[in-house]
Structure 1
Amino acid sequence: MHDDVYELLDPADAPAPRYGSAALSDLLPTLAAGLGVPGFHGTLPLEPADRVCVFLVDGLGWELIRANPDWAPFLTSLMPGGTPITAGFPSTTATSLASVGTGLPPGRHGLAGYTVAIPETGRLMNQLRWNPPVDPQAWQPYPTVFEQAHLAGIATAQVSSPLFASTPLTRVALSGGTFLGRTTAEERMDRAAAWLAEHDRALVYTYLSELDAAGHRFGVDSDEWRLTLSTVDRMARRLADQLPPRSALYVTADHGMIDIAPENRIDFDEDWELSAGVALLGGEGRARHVYAHPGAAGDVYAVWSEVLGEQMWVATREQAVAAGWFGPEVDERVLPRIGDVVAAARDDVAIIATRSEPGESQMIGLHGSMTPVEQLVPLLEVRG
């Protein structure tokens, strides 16, 4: 531990997501309001359209587009008329997809991290893989915006990989209307555009995951990642070029990404200070949920604050909730899923776990926290 004088980061000073004004959870409610779906009100300054497509690219951070204009000329050309919005906390896929689909912050829909504790069993649940399985309806009981749009007579569809057709995450976050499984990126772009053209009032969602996979494996400062970005750019242009009249395309993402060097990774499994008193380590390297043994929460918070408090925002559950990290409200059923201690990286650092998370610990590109490169995602518009 430190023997010198140091200054802890204040959780209240963390740049919390802009829920209710400019966050991912505000996108579909704004679009639904523009389509006349009852019960929704727009908070984003978007002009209504009769036919709307949301194209979500996994891992396409706003700052990453800015840093690579030559590899994404079409997306870059849209940025002057676009804006960054915030993903939500943590900035991770399962959480963000649930925020998109339900129009709710994480504190309401309850997918509050990459892995979180199941309060009834005391086991960690991977919310991306839905393992171990829990009842999806009990875990996330709110209807999706897609379901409500479908009931209001809007032709609603999701165009994605056939592998995602019936997964629990799809059920709780993206269900409603028609699922159209298409394998290739080109097929998804073409089918999404065709769906808009086939219906007078439509809402369609389509998704690509390859950029995120390239970032995790090779890092965002790699030729492999940039080549994948160029493919994403071509797919966005392909979809935009096919937009029918009275339509709008919105390109967005679930999070950005940052490369973390090996020397800036702290191995929880080999660190006796950080692991003392900890029953479960949840979340991911840049955004940790720390679950303490009974009676040890105070000591765990004190140690994590002392060891990491100059590099990470370290908060108790109550502090993180009060600071609005998970939204302005947190449902009672969601509170125990949040760690007794929550740690979000400010600096270029990650808390890995080489024994319990061997695959994740080897990833080069990471995400999850509230820094601009992870948190800011694009909202780029093309009108048909």
Structure 2
Amino acid sequence: MYQARDLPRPDPRVPHLADVTPSVLAAMGAPGFQPRIAVPYQAAGACVLLVDGLGADLLDRYAADAPVLAGLSRQTLQVGFPSTTAAGLAAVGTGCRSGEHGMVGMTFRLPGVGVINALRWRPHPWGADLREDVVPEAVQPRPTVFERAEAGGVQVSVISGAQFDGSGLTRAVLRGGRYRGVHALGDLAATVRSVLIDRGFCYAYHADLDLVGHVHGPGSDAWRMQLRQ
């Protein structure tokens, strides 16, 4: 049985994943955003790229497979608890921590509904699509950072897999701006570049490393080959 002293405790001195997007928008001069993380420059356009499944420890261990990313590494962030995709994307999209945005795991219980899978927006372990009966914007009603930035006059794009366009999780935590669905890494990179050329802001999401990690394990040959890409 766990004692209170055994539970993980966040270090208030270490920035959180939820601090990234507001800080980058502050560096762009977007109204209403404060620099929670020091960004030592002003930006005309910017991209927050999330490589799912790649943490600081893994990047340090396999730096030879990703020398550019490893060379850019500076300050470590807390990803929060739980360290799962749904909670992490919600932190980036809302600028809030799990206790505030309420997306407390890949699955969680909603009153009157039961346990839902946040990635599929269906009952857990499986069932019919819940988007009509369990409206994502009502489950997570806080304005996203993308909605706030767009209201402040920033050109905002969300760049992620085409299959996630309009999904329950997208609507709950990544709504706002223009959704640009992509199909592969080159497609994602080209779309990011077009946003930056136009001096806009984009959040880009790459899922394949996390997928390969779940199938083959972090550090496997397949995972390392994907990291090199």
Q: Same fold (TM over 0.5)?
A: yes
Matched, 1:126 2:124: no
What SS is found at the alignment partner of 1:53?
A: strand
- What is the deviation of 1:208? 0.8
SS in 2 for 1:158: strand
CA contact 2:51–2:206 (8 Å) conserved in 1: yes
TM-score, structure 2 as length reference:
0.90
In structure 2, distance between residues paired with 1:78 and 1:99: 22
The whole-number CA distance in structure 1 between the counterparts of 2:14 and 2:29 is 20
Q: Is the contact between residue 117 and residue 124 of structure 1 (CA under 8 Å) also seen in structure 2? A: yes
Look up the match of 2:59: 65
What is the SS of the residue equivalent to 1:159? strand
Structure 2 counterpart of 1:207, which letter? Y
- Whether 2:108 is the aligned partner of 1:110: answer no
SS in 2 for 1:112: coil
* Structure with greater strand share of residues: 1
Correspondences of 1:1-384 after superposition (within 5 Å): 10-18=3-11, 22-47=15-40, 48-79=42-73, 82-121=74-113, 123-132=114-123, 133=130, 134-199=134-199, 202-231=200-229
1:218-271 per-position Cα deviation (integer Å, ceiling 9, x unaligned): 11131011111111xxxxxxxxxxxxxxxxxxxxxxxxxxxxxxxxxxxxxxxx
Q: Which residue of 2 aligns with 1:265?
A: none
- CA distance in 2: counterparts of 1:144 and 1:19, whole angstroms: 23
Q: Compared with structure 1, are the counterparts of its residues 87 and 25 closer, same or farther at alpha carbon in structure 2 (3 Å cutoff)?
A: same
Q: How many pairs were matched up?
A: 219
CA distance in structure 1 between the partners assigned to 2:137 and 2:13 by the alignment: 25
Structure 1 unaligned runs (5+)?
Answer: 1-7, 232-384
Name the CA distance, whole Å, in 1 between partners of 2:37 and 2:105: 25
CA contact (8 A) 1:19 1:88 kept: no
Greater RCO (Cα-Cα under 8 Å, separation 6 or more): 1
Given that residues 25 and 99 in structure 1 are in contact (C-alpha distance below 8 angstroms), is that contact kept between their aligned partners in structure 2? yes
Aligned-residue Cα RMSD (Å) equals 1.7
What is the CA deviation profile of residues 24-64 of structure 1, one whole-angstrom value per residue up to 9, with x for unaligned ones? 11111112222233332111111231211011011011100
* C-alpha displacement of 1:198: 1.6
Aligned partner of residue 16 in structure 1, secondary structure = coil
Q: Is the 8 A contact 1:20 1:26 kept in 2?
A: no
Q: 1:145 to 1:68 in 2, by over 3 A?
A: same
Asked whether the 8 Å contact 1:19–1:105 carries over to 2, the reply is no
The 1-side partners of 2:166 and 2:208 are apart by 20
Give the secondary-structure state (helix, strand or coil) at the position aligned to 1:84: coil
Larger Rg: 1
Identity, % of aligned positions: 38
Runs of 4+ in structure 1 displaced over 4 angstroms? 18-21
Distance 1:52 1:12, change over 3 A: farther
Question: In structure 1, how many angstroms separate the alpha carbons of the residues matched to 2:18 and 2:44?
Answer: 21
Distance change in 2, residues 1:20/1:158 (3 Å): farther
Q: Which amino acid aligns with 1:51?
A: G
Q: Please, what TM-score do these two structures have when normalized by structure 1?
A: 0.55
CA contact (8 A) 1:20 1:43 kept: no
Deviation string, structure 1 residues 156-194 (Cα, Å, up to 9, x no partner): 101111111111111111121111112111111111011
